[in-house]
Amino acid sequence: MNPFVDMTEEVAYALAEHLPVVALESTIISHGMPYPDNLRTAEEVAAIIREHGAVPATTAIMDGKIKIGLTKEELTRLASEKEVIKASRKDIAYLAASGKTGATTVAGTMFCAGLAGIPIFVTGGIGGVHRGAESTMDISADLEELGRTNVAVICAGAKSILDLGLTMEYLETKGVPVLSYQTDHLPAFFTRSSAFSSNYKVNDPEEIAAVIDTKWSLGLDGGLVIANPIPEHSALEEAYMNQTIEEALQEADKQKVKQKEVTPFLLEYIHKATEGKSLQANIALIKSNAVLGAQTAAAFQKLRN
Ligand code: PSU
């Protein structure tokens, strides 16, 4: 076992027995939602994954250890402490070497899940190419990680705070398949659809598992994006969300928000501007992703066992 990695007994047992495991990120807890909704949501998502027959494994760096699976105490620390660092691939070595604590982004979590041998990962939304990236070069490390690490990411698409068209182009360049669940469209997180199509429509967890299994069996390394539209009753109105996102972007520009602060700033702005509606939508979609993720992990494990 890697000396930097600290895995809970529950996750270690599940992996040793080839049982379905679902990785979960922690940036969404520390930087994506306010306390105490973040802690409650993290616990509910883990419970949903268990109810659907898989073991949840939230990743983070805690006091220098790469954690695969967290105790309630550790989750509470990540949800409530202010100085938790947002940890992408570039941050992991420093945090591990200096004994610090960080919450893993999609890129960070993919790296940790890959290290632990967990192929399926559930989150809310992935990062992408930011609007105006042609001059700022602000492109999430999530996309690079998807291009290189063998982990399938189940999400609700990407938010239209990003340039979704350029995000799709970038994923194409990196050879990352984008599969939409029961739709041809690329979902845009708060809304079930966007102006963009995904690469392929997939209809059930077995079909998703078969694509993942085939990709890696062929030696086509790298991740996949499985985009699951937000449940209909929780989706927000498109015109209203587009306007709110526009305002959030203008405010970020005015306040000269840069680099890793951009996404948390926009999320918080949108949360306040929608008076919590965006948070409710965020919670609903991640729970729905947890169901699909657990089912996909079970179907994938069946193919591999
Ligand atoms: N999108 C969301 N909620 C989030 C994030 C993205 O709707 O919490 C987080 C994820 O952890 C994602 C990260 O990996 O933001 C992307 O940040 P950046 O754009 O700085 O790469």
Q: Are 235 and 190 a contacting pair, CB within 8 Å?
A: yes
Mean pLDDT, rounded, of the chain:
96
- Among 126, 125, 73, which Cα is nearest to 101's? 73
- Expressed in angstroms and rounded, the spacing between residue 260 Cα and the centre of ligand 1 is 9
pLDDT average, residue stretch 56-72: 98
Helix (H) or strand (E) holding 152: strand 152-155
Per-residue pLDDT tens digits for 230-255: 999 999 998 999 999 999 999 999 99
Of all residues in the chain, what percent carry a pLDDT higher than 90?
96
User: Quick check: 108 pLDDT over 90?
Assistant: yes
Q: Work out which ligand 1 atom sits closest to the CA atom of 28.
A: 8
Per-residue pLDDT tens digits for 264-287: 999 999 999 999 999 999 999 999
User: Quick check: 99 pLDDT over 80?
Assistant: yes
Q: Work out which ligand 1 atom sits closest to the CA atom of 162.
A: 19
- Expressed in angstroms and rounded, the spacing between residue 239 Cα and the centre of ligand 1 is 22
pLDDT, residue 300, reads 98
Per-residue pLDDT tens digits for 144-190: 999 999 999 999 999 889 999 999 999 999 999 999 999 999 999 99
- Expressed in angstroms and rounded, the spacing between residue 167 Cα and the centre of ligand 1 is 14
Q: Work out which ligand 1 atom sits closest to the CA atom of 128.
A: 19
Q: Which residue ranges have their beta carbon within 6 Å of ligand 1?
A: 25, 27-28, 32, 105-106, 124-125, 127, 140-142, 159, 189, 260, 263, 267
User: Quick check: 1 pLDDT over 80?
Assistant: no
Q: In testing the pocket of ligand 1, which one of 142, 279, 289 has its CB within 8 Å of the most ligand atoms?
A: 142
Q: In testing the pocket of ligand 1, which one of 24, 26, 27, 270 has its CB within 8 Å of the most ligand atoms?
A: 27
302 is catalytic: no
pLDDT, residue 146, reads 98
25 is catalytic: yes
Handedness of CA 11, 16, 20, 26 (dihedral sign): positive
pLDDT average, residue stretch 5-33: 97
Those residues whose C-beta lies under 8 Å from the C-beta of residue 240, and which sit 6 or more positions away, are none
User: Quick check: 42 pLDDT over 90?
Assistant: yes
User: Quick check: 259 pLDDT over 90?
Assistant: no
Catalytic residue among 86, 159, 215, 277: 159
- For 257, other C-beta atoms within 10 Å of its C-beta total 17
- Among 175, 181, 176, which Cα is nearest to 193's? 181
**Statement: the pTM of the whole predicted model exceeds 0.90:** yes
Q: Are 62 and 74 a contacting pair, CB within 8 Å?
A: yes
- Expressed in angstroms and rounded, the spacing between residue 128 Cα and the centre of ligand 1 is 9
Cα atoms in the 13 Å half-sphere on the side-chain side of 264: 17
Q: Work out which ligand 1 atom sits closest to the CA atom of 140.
A: 21
Q: Taking CA 223 as the corner, what is the angle to CA 15 and CA 53, rounded to the nearest 5 degrees?
A: 35
Q: Are 237 and 192 a contacting pair, CB within 8 Å?
A: no
- Among 46, 8, 5, 7, which Cα is nearest to 25's? 46
pLDDT average, residue stretch 37-53: 98
For residue 64, what pLDDT band results from cuts at 50, 70 and 90?
very high
**How far is Cα 289 from Cα 283, in angstroms, rounded to an integer?**
10
Asked if this assembly's ipTM is beyond 0.90, the reply is: yes
Chain position carrying tokens 């996309």:
143
